[in-house]
Chain A
Amino acid sequence: MARMMTGAEIVLEALAEQGVEDIFGYPGGAVLPIYDEIFKQNRVRHVLVRHEQGAAHAAEGYARSTGKVGVLLVTSGPGATNAVTGLTDALMDSIPLVCITGQVATQLIGSDAFQECDTVGITRPCTKHNYLVRDVNDLARILHEAFYVARSGRPGPVVIDIPKDVQFAKGSYLGANRIVHKTYRPQIKGNATAIRDAVDMIAGAKRPVFYTGGGVINSGPAASKLLREFVELTGYPITSTLMGLGAFPADDQKWLGMLGMHGTYEANLAMNQCDLMVNIGARFDDRITGRLDAFSPDSRKIHIDIDPSSINKTVKVDLPIIGDCAHVLEEMIRVWRARAPQADSAALKKWWAQIDTWRGRKSLQYKNRDDVIMPQYAIQRLYELTRDKDVYITTEVGQHQMWAAQYFGFKDPNRWMTSGGLGTMGYGIPAAIGVQAAHPQSLVIDIAGEASALMTIQELSTAVQHRLPVKIFILNNEYMGMVRQWQELLHDGRYSHSYSHSLPDFVKLAEAYHCVGLRAEKPAELDGMIREMIECPHPVVFDCRVHKLANCFPMIPSGAAHSEMLLAEDFEDDDIDYTVSDEGKAMV
């Protein structure tokens, strides 16, 4: 016998049944019945954000650091539209979210009612799926389905739009175990023949490289373990996208560093010169491939991905395997062990020697200074001083993000939360709040730029209210650094609107929000201040004044190939003299 409940009760019951402990949200007229139910219970904790975009990013941080579905609750109209950036971010980076939006009452839909918007219309292209609930008797099914869709296959955000009258109406509650989705059955296991063929190709490679991505993280901790095991078995070099950092330990000898636009010389050259590329859970993003017609011209390519639409989207591959990374890796390891293939050790030795030559270029080297903090140095110190700690890193978007990816060594999955696909400035503070909510005892640091941090700075108030002691480590160069770098490269140094006049005093700003503010201006004081930040039990805003004109190298300019990297050593400090083709200029 189905239990009868109001729509609002059904929402809370379904959340509890799905194991949701924390949700991020902001109340408003069209969600008041649900907020009333939140008030009456204590199974689900609600974290009150200061802007709905913050709710979405916090839910993303929560999801990325736990592997669970992140949940946000917002009102109709502006509540829903404010969440759109976070939803799009989650879609691009394949993060499982369930976003519950209030809607005006059913009979008012379409009448331009107060705080009405076409939420399902607006969010259709920026969600994996969305629902408008017209009948309270569909609500429980839709809620459980939404969680299933969000976390299954290639994860993504799902919106459930619930009109206010449906929240009040009484209907029957169905448990999650009674819901089976009609159509959505992503393929999890890889094709056995393809896996055997892949093992043969891998065993016979002379210049192989593993190229891994966020799919390995999304597949769960088992996938990272299996990846390590397989790399160990083969002894092959491995690189990863921005999204995949942490799946393989950065201190391992086989690790080449991140690849792509700001990847290491050895990673990009290995991609360029390899004869076999094994793509595990990555999607040949334009930030990775550079100019497509010059991308890894002489390699055969294996592509393991759970999403068939990622296969042959931009790069034609020789052997696609559709399936979940962990399942496919497990099967590959089994086949490899059973066959115990003899790899071409002479060729591999030569390949490693070549890689060592590339490593010798030391592409991450920079000129350190005594008088001013170099941003790279700040990240290195932050890394060294937090190495033995239980630490999670989020970032904003820009130069600091790339420096964090380059100089912070990640050892484990789910420790690195960054906006990769959409490149959302303002992601880091709310994401850190979401991570801290899930891991109250851990050290959570947002490596930020001052421009990005200001986009969602109001969330400091959320951190204080909910006693979430996040650390906002701002590399403050007073510029939108990456914009400035591109203007230097593409527009002859005409820094159109990339300098922020009238920045706030971040220490005073921290204090105004009841956080702790710290500032470091000289390299000599950096370590002491970082220690102070780490030991502080409260939210901290750290204003790290860095060299204003530092550029992020290495760099593959837009429209260029992997073999046309720019290295720091090629340039005098603060002076990039390089001509980008007109075609390249047009690319983002």
Chain B
Amino acid sequence: MTQNQNSIAQHTLAVLVDNEPGVLARVIGLFSGRGYNIDSLTVSETMHEKHLSRITIATTGSPMVIEQIRNQLERLVPVHGVTDLTVEGNPIARELALVKVVGKGDKRVESLRLAEAFRAQVVDASTEHFIFEITGRVSKIEQFITLMEPLGLAEVARTGIAAIERGPEAM
């Protein structure tokens, strides 16, 4: 509502769901149908024997909207639980990116030097290109990509955020 509009913030939600057909469509359909944002979405089975998948969603909204999103997600029948990692504390959030840089000469050397500084690994190379694998916070990846741009950035593939709560407690 109006009083909350100033406090729009990004939240990272972890959603534990049954790994069954259509479950991702349910979650995504809820976001599109009700007009919520998805900034990033990652999904993979995390507990094979229980057939449970974990969906990590970064979304933006006022506190009232974030509460709604959480409640709406929990209402879905195959959803086991939703944790707002941002509310619980400052979660560990990491992303992986594969960055293809094409170039020769100084630019090529510079890109390799920057990759070392960012602890990015070379996972594929020819005399004309590198593919770097970089892991880290979103801000670090963004920064790396920006730096690569004048050095021959050709293509980027990113995984989206995987996030987990700090400390010994589990979801």
Residues of B within 8 A of A307 (CB): 75
Scan A278-300; emit 1 where CB is below 8 A from any B CB, else 0: 00000000000000110000000
Is A316's CB under 8 angstroms from B75's CB?
no
Q: Are B72 and A309 in contact (CB under 8 A)?
A: yes
A389 adjacent to chain B (CB < 8 Å): no
CA distance A475 to B26 in the complex (A): 42
- Of all chain B residues, the one with the shortest Cβ separation from A132 is B21
CB distance from B151 to the nearest CB of A (A): 44
Partner of A128 from the list B29, B33, B71, B77 (CB cut-off 8 Å) is: B77
CA–CA, A307 and B68, complex, Å: 11
Least distance between A424 CB and chain B CB atoms (Å): 19
A111-132 to B contact mask, C-beta < 8 Å, 1/0: 0000000001100110011001
Decide if A125 touches B29 in the complex (CB within 8 Å).
yes
- Decide if A540 is an interface residue (CB 8 Å cutoff): no
Contact of B117 with A by CB under 8 A: no
* Interface magnitude class on chain B: 20 to 34
Residues of A within 8 A of B25 (CB): 121, 124
Cβ contact of B64, chosen from A182, A308, A312, cutoff 8 A: A312
* In the assembled complex, A184 has its CB within 8 A of some CB on chain B: yes
Instruction: Note all chain B residues with C-beta closer than 8 A to A334.
Output: none
B64/A309 in contact, CB under 8 A: no
Decide yes or no whether A183 CB sits under 8 A from chain B.
Answer: yes
Judge whether B67 is part of the interface by a CB distance below 8 angstroms: yes
Contact between B75 and A182, CB atoms less than 8 A apart: no
Interface string of B47-78 (1 = CB under 8 A from A): 00000000000000000100110011011111
Q: Convert B25-37 into 0s and 1s, putting 1 for each residue whose CB lies closer than 8 angstroms to a CB of A.
A: 1100100010000
Contacts of B26 in A (CB 8 A): 124
Docked-complex contact B77 and A183, CB < 8 angstroms: yes
Docked Cα-Cα span, A557 to B6, in Å, equals 30
8 Å CB contact of B68 from A132, A184, A312? A312
**B95 within 8 Å of A (CB atoms):** no
Partner of B77, one of A149, A309, A311: A149
| Interface check B131, CB cutoff 8 A | no
**Given the complex, which residues of A lie within 8 Å of B21, measured CB to CB?**
132
Task: Knowing A125-B33, A128-B77 are in contact, say whether A183-B18 is a contact too (CB < 8 A).
Answer: yes
A337 interfacial contact with B, CB 8 Å: no
Closest B residue, CB atoms, query A182: B18
- Distance, CA A308 to CA B67, complexed state (A): 10
Main secondary structure of the interface of B (DSSP, over half): helix
Q: In the complex where A124-B25, A124-B26 touch, is A308 in contact with B71 (Cβ < 8 A)?
A: yes
Residues from 100 to 152 in B contacting A, C-beta threshold 8 Å: none
The answer to whether A309 touches B79, judged by C-beta atoms less than 8 angstroms apart, is no
Q: Mark B13-31, 1 if CB is under 8 A from A, else 0.
A: 0000010011001100100
Closest B residue to A149 by CB, please name it: B77
Q: Which one of A121, A183, A308, A311 contacts B78 once the chains associate, using CB atoms below 8 Å?
A: A183
Q: How long is the Cα–Cα vector from A313 to B2 in the complex, in angstroms?
A: 14
A124 in contact with B64 (CB, 8 Å): no
A210 and B80 CA atoms in complex are apart in Å by 34
Q: A residues 297-319 with Cβ under 8 Å of B?
A: 307-309, 311-313, 316
Please, which residues of chain B bring their CB within 8 A of the CB of A313? 68
Proximity bits, A207-237, B CB within 8 Å = 1, else 0: 0000000000000000000000000000000
A313 vs B75: C-alpha distance when bound (angstroms): 14
Asked if A316 and B71 make an inter-chain contact with CB atoms under 8 angstroms apart, the answer reads no
Jot down 29 A-B pairs with beta carbons below 8 A, ordered by A.
A120-B22, A121-B22, A121-B25, A124-B22, A124-B25, A125-B33, A129-B76, A129-B77, A132-B21, A132-B22, A149-B77, A182-B18, A183-B18, A183-B77, A183-B78, A183-B79, A184-B77, A293-B2, A307-B75, A308-B71, A308-B74, A308-B75, A309-B68, A309-B75, A312-B64, A312-B67, A312-B68, A313-B68, A316-B1
The 10 closest A-B pairs by CB, nearest first: A309-B71, A129-B77, A308-B71, A309-B72, A184-B77, A309-B75, A183-B80, A125-B33, A125-B29, A124-B29
